Amino acid sequence: MTTTISIGSGKGGTGKTMILANLALLLARKGKKVCLLDLDVGGADTHLLFGLFEPKYSLTDFLTRKVDTLQDTLHTFYSYNGLQFLPGTGNTLQTANMSYQEKQRLLRAISTIDADVVLIDVGAGTNYHSLDFFMFSDIQICVTLPDPTSILDFYTFLQLATIRRVLGSFLSRSQVSSTLKKQHFTSLSQVFRLAEDTQKGAREKAQLALKYFHPLLVVNRDSANARVNKKKLNSLTSKYLGIEIPPLGEIPEDSAAGEALKAYIPVCELFPDAPVSIALDTMANKLAKVIELFADHS
Ligand SMILES: Nc1ncnc2c1ncn2[C@@H]1O[C@H](COP(=O)(O)OP(=O)(O)OP(=O)(O)O)[C@@H](O)[C@H]1O
Ligand SMILES: [Mg+2]
């Protein structure tokens, strides 16, 4: 059984790629068969963290049908416990603007990857690609920095992700769907209200779509003078978005992250004793337990 996990954030540069690349490596070290996908179609750079400067194939080759299957595009890092990797290089206009059909073909192909864990790095922001890749997974990780603007972007990202999830839960030809599609929503309660006004019972159906959406919260670049009140953030998302955001952990501000990037080696490999690596290791252990729980219950 394969568990898919995606990482997203409202704001760019929150550390998604650094976190996911290292979690991928740490899970592979634990003996899991891991496949890391760089679906940041606007700014793919995960390959650089591993020192892979010229990948033989990339996501573009799959989208343009240069290769037959997604499996053919995967690179194996033999020096990193056999970690498999889909480079997202080749930022052509075609990749960044893939059609609905191409996206569906890609998502179908991802479902067939032979791995215990598939990790998906989605681009920052709230465009449809980012939201759809983020919501596609079984488990979501969302990252914020401790500063107020990052937290606001984080909240907006989750709000739009939940709205997209709820809208997607109605059949595209249904009356509720065609009514909702014409609207621009700024809050989830507006969606629920209009759904119910259009068809009795639709509110309940919409709420059900969020039943299993509990994105795991990561606070990155944490420091003593900039702490996030996680309880308050969780009560906000619970009250206004109807979702819980269980904490996965915090990662401290640490110059080792930047040093490792410059050396093109994952920080957990280059500086295993650095505070950032220790925090990532704790996080990988917790995530491994979440994956086991998920696999047991599905
Ligand atoms: N805990 C940390 N301490 C210090 N620097 C960090 C930390 N986490 C990330 N960084 C630095 O922040 C920068 C952005 O990180 P990264 O590229 O992983 O973010 P991202 O969210 O993937 O960005 P994008 O949205 O552009 O894809 C990098 O230079 C990275 O080294
Ligand atoms: Mg990134």
Residue 271 buriedness (CB in 10 A; 0-12 / 13-18 / 19+): buried
Q: Over the stretch 28-49, which tens digit does the pLDDT of each residue have?
A: 999 999 999 999 887 889 999 9
Q: Categorize the per-residue pLDDT at 178 as very low, low, confident or very high, splitting at 50, 70 and 90.
A: confident
Is the separation of the CB atoms in 44 and 89 below 8 Å?
yes
Q: Categorize the per-residue pLDDT at 198 as very low, low, confident or very high, splitting at 50, 70 and 90.
A: confident
SS (H, E, C) the chain: CCEEEEEECCCCCCCHHHHHHHHHHHHHHCCCCEEEEEECCCCCCHHHHCCCCCCCCCHHHHHCCCCCCHHHHCEEEHHHCCEEEECCCCCCHHHHCCCHHHHHHHHHHHHCCCCCEEEEEECCCCCHHHHHHHHHCCEEEEEECCCHHHHHHHHHHHHHHHHHHHHHCCCCCCHHHHHHHCCCCCCHHHHHHHHHHHCCCHHHHHHHCCCCCCCEEEEEEEECCECCCHHHHHHHHHHHHCCCCCEEEEEECCHHHHHHHHHCCCHHHHCCCCHHHHHHHHHHHHHHHHHHHHHHCC
Which range in 91-105, 179-193, 247-261 is most confidently predicted, on average pLDDT? 247-261
Ligand 1 geometric centre to CA of 14 (Å): 5
Please name which ligand lies nearest the alpha carbon of 279. Answer: 1
Report the distance separating Cα 168 and Cα 84, nearest Å. 31
Select the more confidently predicted residue: 96 or 75. Answer: 75
Number of other residues whose CB lies within 10 A of the CB of residue 294? 16
Residue with tokens 């709230």: 126
pLDDT exceeds cutoff 80 at 177:
no
pLDDT exceeds cutoff 60 at 187:
yes
Please give the pLDDT value at position 6. Answer: 97
Domains of the chain, residue spans: 3-147+214-296
Please give the pLDDT value at position 99. Answer: 85
Which is nearest to 289 in space by CA: 112, 84, 117, 71? 117
Q: Is the CB of 263 under 6 A from ligand 1?
A: no
pLDDT exceeds cutoff 90 at 247:
yes
Find the mean pLDDT for residues 236-260. Answer: 92
User: Nearest 5°: phi and psi at 50?
Assistant: -100, 5
Please give the pLDDT value at position 119. Answer: 98
Residue with tokens 């179908």: 108
Please give the pLDDT value at position 179. Answer: 74
Q: Which atom of ligand 1 is nearest to the CA of 257?
A: 31
Q: Over the stretch 43-80, which tens digit does the pLDDT of each residue have?
A: 889 999 999 999 999 998 998 899 999 999 999 999 99
Please name which ligand lies nearest the alpha carbon of 253. Answer: 1
Please give the pLDDT value at position 90. Answer: 59
Select the more confidently predicted residue: 259 or 12. Answer: 259
Q: Which of 6, 9, 17 to mutate to test the pocket of ligand 1 (most atoms within 8 A of CB)?
A: 17
Please give the pLDDT value at position 20. Answer: 98
Number of other residues whose CB lies within 10 A of the CB of residue 101? 8
Please give the pLDDT value at position 207. Answer: 81
Report the distance separating Cα 95 and Cα 86, nearest Å. 14
Q: Which segment of 111-115, 149-153, 239-243 scores lowest on mean pLDDT?
A: 239-243
Q: Is the CB of 223 under 6 A from ligand 1?
A: no
Q: Categorize the per-residue pLDDT at 189 as very low, low, confident or very high, splitting at 50, 70 and 90.
A: confident
Is the separation of the CB atoms in 207 and 196 below 8 Å?
no
Q: Residue 267 pairs with which residues in a beta bridge?
A: none
Q: How many residues does the chain have?
A: 298
Q: Over the stretch 145-174, which tens digit does the pLDDT of each residue have?
A: 998 888 889 988 998 888 888 877 776 667
The per-residue pLDDT of the chain, averaged, comes to 89
* 142 token code pair: 């969302």
Q: Is the CB of 34 under 6 A from ligand 1?
A: no
Q: Is the CB of 11 under 6 A from ligand 1?
A: no
Q: Is the CB of 258 under 6 A from ligand 1?
A: yes
Q: Which segment of 91-95, 203-207, 247-251, 264-268 scores lowest on mean pLDDT?
A: 91-95
Is the separation of the CB atoms in 74 and 86 below 8 Å?
yes
Amino acid identity for residue 42 in this structure: G
Please name which ligand lies nearest the alpha carbon of 276. Answer: 1
- Superfamily, domain 3-147+214-296: P-loop containing nucleotide triphosphate hydrolases (3.40.50.300)
Ligand 2 geometric centre to CA of 21 (Å): 10
pLDDT exceeds cutoff 90 at 263:
yes
Which is nearest to 216 in space by CA: 234, 229, 241, 239? 234
Select the more confidently predicted residue: 95 or 206. Answer: 206
